[in-house]
Structure 1
Amino acid sequence: MRLRLSLNQNHRETGFTLVELMIVLVIMGLMASIVVLSFPDGSNDLEQDAQKFAARTAALRDNAILQSRPMAVQVTPSGYSFLERRKGTWSVIEDKPFRSTDWSDGVTAAVGDTGPMLISFESTGLPSDRAEVQLSYKEFARNIVIAPMGDVQLAGSGETP
């Protein structure tokens, strides 16, 4: 017995099925969202500046302990610099990684009306006071908190109210 398989030669498929169209639309939507999310909005610069500042401030605290010398970070709206206490006066440190640094374009620090903010660390690594530095870029803000025990932490990501 032979099994004969017959194919209808007259039947032709043209066009796309609804499922195929839906898959193409989903793929195009995902690609479009990736493109939109990859446009720089400045908040990435804000995040990088905040992380870099927090890491360098924590390194300064550790350096104050290692050298048994008071050290400080001075924050201005346009950037920050690191200081060390020598012979009764504050001197700017210009050695890596403690060189003076400007914030990225559009990023500013809120320092208040009193001028530059000075956050000092004793030779034990403890700060003189709890401090909080707020960086902002357009409607985005990021806070760096120096806790009473000397911990440097990032806080407050997202849009400002």
Structure 2
Amino acid sequence: MGRYSDSGSDAADRARANGFSLIELLVALFVLALLASVAVLSLPDSGGDLRRSAESFAARVGAARDEAIVTARPTSVVVGQAGYYFETRGEGGWQPPDARSLQGGDWPSDTVVTHEGAGIGTKDGQAGAGNRRIVFDSLGLASEDARISLSREAHEATVTIARNGDIRTEAGQ
């Protein structure tokens, strides 16, 4: 009997010495996962920043359209190479809006902005050198069809504003 019990414990001791415990394997997997997540976070931007900027811009343009409907006053978005801002039409002309949701923003660095649209004339359609003003009336209708394209390196994102007030975002390559 002693022989069987000794050989059984010797075999178990040899198995422990030759292999890894479950805890050791789980710790090793955790360390590998941690290293992989650090590597992924350090990879260069793949256009996500540009897409997020376009989506944020589209959401704010939608808020400007809604502001025009709620206040029954024309509200505009002015788009330029450096960024965008909003204005509402008051007694003294175009003024900064009171709404916190209508804060302007800057485009990410090295972003090239192009905008296409018919324009509505020099006085209201253009808001300065190279800037484009799109006005939403009290019904939420836009003054023009517009297409604002943001591009950086090989990535592109486009915000399309239709005359009926619809706003769409498209992310390219």
Counting aligned pairs with the same residue, the percent is 29
How many angstroms does 1:54 deviate by? 1.2
Residue 45 in structure 1 maps to residue 65 in structure 2: no
Three-state SS of the structure 2 residue aligned to 1:59 is helix
After TM superposition, give the deviation of residue 31 of structure 1 in Å.
4.3
User: Where does residue 143 of structure 1 map in the other structure?
Assistant: 158
Deviation, structure 1 residue 129:
2.1
Cα distance in 2 between the residues matched to 1:70 and 1:88:
13
Change (3 A) 1:36 1:149: farther
Q: Which amino acid aligns with 1:116?
A: N
Q: Normalising by structure 1, what TM-score?
A: 0.71
| Cα RMSD after superposing both structures | 3.5
Given the superposition, is the C-alpha separation of residues 133 and 33 from structure 1 closer, same or farther in structure 2, using an over 3 Å criterion? farther
Native 8 Å contact 2:88 2:97 kept in 1: no
Q: What is the rounded CA distance, in whole Å, between the counterparts of 2:146 and 2:43 in structure 1?
A: 30
2:83–2:105 CA contact under 8 A, matched in 1: yes
Aligned partner (choices 137, 140, 149) of residue 134 of structure 1: 149
| Match in the other structure for 2:140 | 125
> Which residues of 2 match residues 16-95 of structure 1 at below 5 A?
16=19, 30-39=33-42, 41-42=44-45, 43-87=47-91, 89=93, 91-95=94-98
Name the counterpart of 1:110. 114
Q: TM-score, normalised by structure 2?
A: 0.67
CA spacing shift, 1:25–1:147, aligned 2, 3 Å: farther
Q: Which runs of 5+ in 2 are unaligned?
A: 117-128
